Each structure stands twice: as C-alpha cells, then as structure tokens.
Structure 1
Amino acid sequence: MTAAPKLSVVAATRNDEHGGNQMARTQLFINGLAEQALRFKLPVELLLVEWNPPPDRPPLAEALSWPRSEWFAPRIVVVSPELHARFPHADGLPLFQMIAKNVGIRRSAAEFVLATNIDILLSDELFASFAHDLKPDALYRVDRLDIEADLTRNPLPSPAECRALPWLRAHRQDGTHYPDGRREPWYARARSRFNRAVWNATHGGALPDLFTWGCGDFTLTTNKVWEGMHGYPEWPMYSFHLDSLALVMAYAAGVEMVTLAPPQVVHHLEHGAGSGWTPEGARRLFGRLDAAGVPYLSGSGYDRVAREILRKGRGFHPLNESDEWGLGGEELTVVTP
C-alpha cells in the first residue's frame, strides 16, 4: 500500500480452532476487508495480533491467504508464548483479548482505529461511511447481526454471500432481538426493570445508556481517543465487560457517542456454543471459565468500576496507569505476510 492508511483495523487471535472453523472465519474476515478496501478505494491497514501462537500449529502468516493491493496492507504483530506466560492465569486463558487488542491499537498508523474481532464482516454501507462521514471526537457503534455460514465448504463462501444470509439474532442498544419478534416475556422484562431501578436507587442513580451490547465486535474512534484512554483495561481475566469499560471512559471524557443506523451494521459469523458469549451459551461459557479458575468481571463489578470512573468528573481516567499499555515497552515481532 503506497498511501497512508485512513483506517486501522485491529483484531486478535491465535491458530487454536477456538469456536470451531476459526481459520475459515478469520479468512473471511481478511477477505472481506481486502475486497472492500479495493472496491471502495479506501486505504486500510489490518493489524492482526497473534497472541501466544501454539507451537504445534502453523503461524497465521502461513495458515491463511493474504490478499494485497495498493488499498490493503496487513501486518501481524506476534506476542510470544514466553511473554504470555508472564501474566496471571496464563495457563487457563491462552489469549488475553483486550491486552492483545491494545497491542494493535498502540501500533496503528491511521487517524481512525476500529477494534473488532476475526469473525466480523462489515456491511458495504458501513464501510462506505468510513471514507467521508467520521468525526474526530466521536466513538461509533453499530448493530450486530449473527449469521450462520457454511464454513466447511470448499471453496469458502464469499464475504458478500455471507453478508446476504438471514440473521439469527440482532444485538441492538436495547438488547437482543430475534427474526420472529420474540423477546423475553413481559413479566421477565418488568422484573429486570424493577431490579435495575432498585439497584440504581441504592447505588447513586442510573448509569448513562451506552450501547455496550457486543461492543467488542465494533468500537471505532480516533487514535487520539484510544491514546487518552490507554486502550482497554489490561486486567488478566476473560474479556467480558472489559470492552464496555472503554465506552465508559470515552463518555467520561466527553467523546460523542454515535450509533450508526442500519444498514450500517456488522455481520457476526456464528461460532460454537460456550466459546464466546451468546444468550443461549452463556451458562456453558461461564461454567467453563469457573472450572478453569479464570476470573471475569461480573455485572455488578462492571457497575462498580463504571461509577468509579464517572465520579472522577470530566476527562480521561485510564484504568491502565502505565504509559506502556499495549506492551509499549516490548520489542515485538511484526510480520508482513
């Protein structure tokens, strides 16, 4: 790529077949970005952080195909198993997702940086908006549509074919929706609202209504904002709720929260139950984490930390106090595949 990137896309993974058909999902993610960058003529760099690569599997540079053009430049930032082993709970959690994303964010070159995941496809309408419509002091969120693609097919379906699939769930600011219109029963929603009202009344009022559902799959803001926040919290635990705290930090700093309307959405390639959070697989996920002794932030824990941030008043209040967030003090291997 000859031009400076207008957008940096950051994701983290390792070749361990997490969630099933992981390399297929990652390949579709790469293909989708490369094809859209070329078609819309938007210079994009992809920083894929390869965290703790398994010694018995090929590295990502060899395991995947890497389309290149003057509009798309992929880089792989490698965090070694030895560095991973320094963190608490390294045996139970092979990938610290938010620390890994910080590694990529810190090393990004574009003004706007999208933190996302390797099972995400961007709608054409969303990608087209990146060229002209982004504001420098805003953080962008979108709805996420879960889809189920045939990832065992050879050749793989194209990103366009996947984006055209019917959605299984839509994750919106007000929660999860299904195509048949079903929601939780009215009495369950009423009980939830009552419990939240009681909690808020006894804990200092309601938190701001931020679009935290699925925010780890799409959080787009400027390099300057990411720098002000020192990225995501770098706590050695499962990533649940850590992505949401980035939104709280940005809100506290006065960053404008923008939710883009459909059809500006992301499409999420469904993975195995218990490998990540879904309404149906939540119990299995947390059972697996508990069995492995891996900590995670509870809903009440998120509430407590969010209130601590907001009580500090207007401004950036990084949860990572060190200026070396994102492994800034480490010389990491960068591979251009």
Structure 2
Amino acid sequence: MDDFSENNGQLNNSMSEELKSHIKLENELLNNPLVSDYLISNFGENSIKIILAAMDETTDDAIAARCKLKVAEVRAILNKLYNYRLAEYKRIKDRDTGWFSYIWKIDVSNVLSIIEEQVVQKIKELDRKVEKINTELVYYCPKCSKTNLISFDLASELYFRCPNCENRLVEKDIKEKEELNYELTELKEKHQLLVDQIAKFEEMKRAEEQRLKELQVKQFAEAAAIQELEKERKRIKKKMKRQKERAKQMKKNSKKGILRKNIKMHAEHKSFHKNKKNKPNKSEKFTRAAKQKQNAKKNKIKTKAFKSK
C-alpha cells in the first residue's frame, strides 16, 4: 500500500476535488482490518495494489504496468471484483483494428455492506443449525462434514450410514452445539461492529459530500466574482481607451487650430509687408504728382500749338 501512496500524492495536484474525496474515502476503507482481510482472503494478496491503481478510470494493461504484475493476473482479480459489485468497466472498440479495450474503475465504497450481507447469511445458517440441534436429534458424518446435519428419521432410513462415503454417522454432541453457539456469538459481534463501521463511513461520506457541495458553491462564487472583475476591468480599459482617443483628438484639433492661426498670422504678415511695399511714400507721391502736372502742361502747350496752325 505504501508503494502507491507516494504515487497518489504525486497525482493529487492534477486531480479534481471529487476524485481526491473518492480516494480519501477508499483509503479509509482499505486501512480497515476487516476490509483488508476480506479483500486478501477473497481476491488475493495483490488485490489491494490493484484497487489502489484503479481508483480512476484506466485500462487493465495500465494497471498491470503500474502494479508490475502480469496482465492475466490483473484481469482475473478485476473480474472477481466485478462479480462482487466492487468494479465496473466500459468496453470500447478500436475502429482501425476492430479489437475491444476495457476501461476499468474500482469502487469499494460498498465493501462493508457486502461483508455485512455475507455475515448475516452465515448467522442465518448457524441459527437454523442451532435450532435444529435444539429441537431434534441429529447426526453427522465425521469424515465428510460436521456441518451437514442429518435428522434422526433420515439417518435411520440410511441405516446410520453417510450417503456420500458410507461411513458411520455420529450423533451430534453437546460440544458441537457449544462450538456452533460460540461461532454464532462471534459472528453477531462482528455484525454489530460492521453496522457501526458502516454508519461511521456513511457519516464520513455525507461530510465529504457536504464539503464538496460547499466547495462548489465557493468556487462558483469566486468564478462569478472573477467574471465581474474581468467585466469591470474591460469597462475601465474601454473607458480609458475612449479618454485616450478623446485626448488624442483634442491634441490633434489643438495642433490644427495652432496651425490655422499660424497660417493666418503668416498670411496677414505677408499681406502687410506686400501692402507696405506697394504703398508709395511722401516723396514718391510728390514726384509722381509733379511729373503728372508737368506732363499735363506739355500736353496743353502742344494742343494750343496745334490749334494755332
């Protein structure tokens, strides 16, 4: 069991909480002496290794490799566990080869109930035997079996000979009766212990289910909070983007305004200098007027001379 506890520890980080809870409950059962003794006596010494290796869905080949056992031995134990309702499998067909592969999963959560059923069955059988001994004279064959009891009427018909080996039948004595009563008492004590352990395990199971439920609610709330934070982050990011674009546009418009102002000022400056250049000063104005006046006199003289001729 220790070989696999280390492997389970390495896998815990990647496992879901549900699987971790399942493994925790399974380990609790496997550490129970009643359960471990039952599994080893019914399924062999390697059964616990195989159970630990197949708590999650996996193939028989993978289980054999993990346990370092032959595949045939693993399959035999898996089939036994399946017959006892402690394992289940899914059959998957390979489309290319047409071969079937089996995905196994072992669940021993009901093993205590199975043990209890068997103990109850044995108690009923012993009760019938004790009642038979108490009510009538019975015989048995010391060679074949001391538990197969034969009534006095049947024994007399058989001439007090065993129907199997023809050995002489012997009357059931008080010692045998005491042995049966002692065995019956032990079984009843074992049954009560099983009932208590089943109740304890069911309580643990309910506690784990409640823990998982609360964890799911917490995870859902955390996921919702993260989603809201993400929405808020996107909203703020979008708002900042709009503000940035607005500032950029304002800066651009401001640059355009300054440019227009500069162009206007430049145009005004240029126009001013042009007008200043074209505008004559006082001396130029006087010279031009004198010339115009002189030209007018000359033209007048010429006109008079032409008329006198």
- TM-score bucket of the superposed structures, by smaller chain: under 0.3
Rg comparison, structure with higher value? 2
TM norm structure 1: 0.21
Alignment TM-score, normalising by the size of structure 2: 0.22
Higher relative contact order (CA 8 A, sep 6+): 1
Structure number having the greater helix percentage: 2
Which structure: greater strand fraction? Answer: 1
